[in-house]
């Protein structure tokens, strides 16, 4: 048996090389695939949509917030990989009574890269993890951010309005793009806000994310009514919030968003 320390600074007793892994986080599930773990991943959640083949064929253990503990027991994992923000504390505590549970805690790009490296280490895929990390460094190295900070509000929920605050991975991605995020950092990670607060913050750009709330075109007039002077844009939430190997592709998407803001489109 080996001892590992996760990103929540928890000591986790692991088998020499985990052979039956369950992932409880969509972005980390995709990363496990890209690390080449294949049949060693025996369970995922109903929200783990990438890769599509795994979504269609891998056993599911409920959702990220409501894990089916009985289903997990039938799969007899020797490693469960979760995330502090994505998974319910009660579920994780219950699982940890029976199985090794390794938890990530990612608030920025550095934390994401550390997570990739650490999971590569505990799963015996360190070389693949190093390649992924190198690719992510290269992709972000080519990102051309906004020339001048643009105040932006990134919406994640409706009724009530909720924005990405601080400290969050989303906010770090926004800053790397050259945005000046609102709301103020001291309001916390995902603050609720009302129409008057939105008007007071006066964002120049509003980014309506595709997840977790599925914002679409029908919501643009609703937000425009509150913030008539702001540019309203629909954005794909995955590049902004998936902190695994999706980061290899995120800067290309960010560049398209940045170019659109700079071009006034």
Mean pLDDT of the chain: 97
C-alpha–C-alpha distance, residues 174 and 261, integer Å: 13
Of 206, 217, 208, whose CA–CA distance to 235 is shortest?
Answer: 208
pLDDT at 122: 97
Spatial distance between the Cα atoms of 261 and 225, rounded to a whole number of angstroms = 20
Q: What are the beta bridge partners of residue 180?
A: 151
* Residues 118-167 pLDDT 10s: 999 999 999 999 999 999 999 999 999 999 999 999 999 999 999 999 99
- CATH class assigned to 2-139: alpha beta
Fold: same for 2-139 and 150-263: yes
Q: How confident is the model over 30-64, as pLDDT tens digits?
A: 999 999 999 999 999 999 999 999 999 999 999 99
Contacts 24+ apart (CB under 8 A), 91-96: 91/65, 91/66, 91/67, 94/69, 95/67, 95/69
Strand pairing class (161-163; 192-193): antiparallel
Burial label, 154 (beta-carbon count in 10 A; 0-12, 13-18, 19+): buried
Q: Please give the pLDDT value at position 1.
A: 74
Task: Provide CATH code, domain 150-263.
Answer: 3.40.50.1980
What's 34's DSSP letter? H
**Ranges of each domain in the chain:** 2-139, 150-263
Burial letters 76-104, b for 16+ CB under 10 A, else e: ebbbbbbbebbbeeebbeebbeebbbbbb
Q: HSE of 67 in the Cβ direction (CA atoms, 13 Å)?
A: 25
> How far is the C-alpha of 16 from the C-alpha of 23, rounded, in Å?
18
pLDDT at 203: 98
> Percent of the chain at pLDDT above 70?
100
Helices 126-141 and 109-122: angle between axes, nearest 10 degrees:
160
CA atoms within 13 A on the CB side of 216: 2
Structure-token pair, residue 92: 């994780």
Please give the pLDDT value at position 265. 61
pLDDT digits (tens, 9 = 90+) for 59-109: 999 999 999 999 999 999 999 999 999 999 999 999 999 999 999 999 999
DSSP 123-145: TT-HHHHHHHHHHHHHHHHT---
How many percent of the chain have pLDDT more than 90? 97
Euclidean distance between CA atoms 98 and 95, whole angstroms: 6
Give pTM, 2 decimals: 0.96
């Amino acid at each position: 048996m080996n001892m590992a320390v996760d990103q929540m600074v928890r000591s986790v007793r692991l088998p020499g090389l985990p052979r039956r892994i369950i992932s409880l986080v969509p972005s980390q599930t995709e990363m496990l695939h890209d690390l080449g773990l294949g049949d060693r991943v025996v369970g995922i959640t109903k929200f783990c949509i990438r890769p599509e083949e795994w979504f269609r064929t891998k056993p599911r253990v409920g959702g990220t917030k409501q894990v089916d503990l009985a289903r997990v027991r039938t799969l007899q994992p020797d490693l469960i990989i979760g995330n502090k923000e994505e998974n319910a504390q009660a579920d994780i505590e219950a699982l940890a009574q029976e199985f090794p549970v390794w938890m990530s805690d990612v608030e920025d790009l550095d934390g994401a890269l550390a997570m990739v490296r650490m999971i590569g280490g505990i799963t015996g895929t360190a070389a693949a993890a190093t390649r992924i990390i190198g690719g992510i460094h290269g992709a972000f190295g080519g990102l051309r951010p906004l020339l001048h900070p643009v105040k932006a509000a990134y919406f994640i929920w409706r009724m009530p309005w909720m924005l990405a605050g601080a400290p969050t991975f989303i906010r770090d991605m926004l800053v790397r793009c050259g945005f000046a995020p609102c709301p103020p950092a001291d309001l916390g990670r995902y603050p609720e806000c009302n129409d008057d607060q939105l008007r007071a913050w006066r964002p120049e750009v509003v980014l309506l994310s595709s997840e977790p709330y599925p914002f679409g075109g029908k919501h643009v007039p609703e937000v425009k009514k509150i913030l008539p002077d702001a540019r309203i844009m629909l954005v794909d939430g995955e590049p902004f919030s998936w902190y695994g190997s999706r980061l290899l592709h995120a800067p290309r998407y960010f560049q398209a968003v940045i170019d659109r803001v700079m071009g006034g489109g």
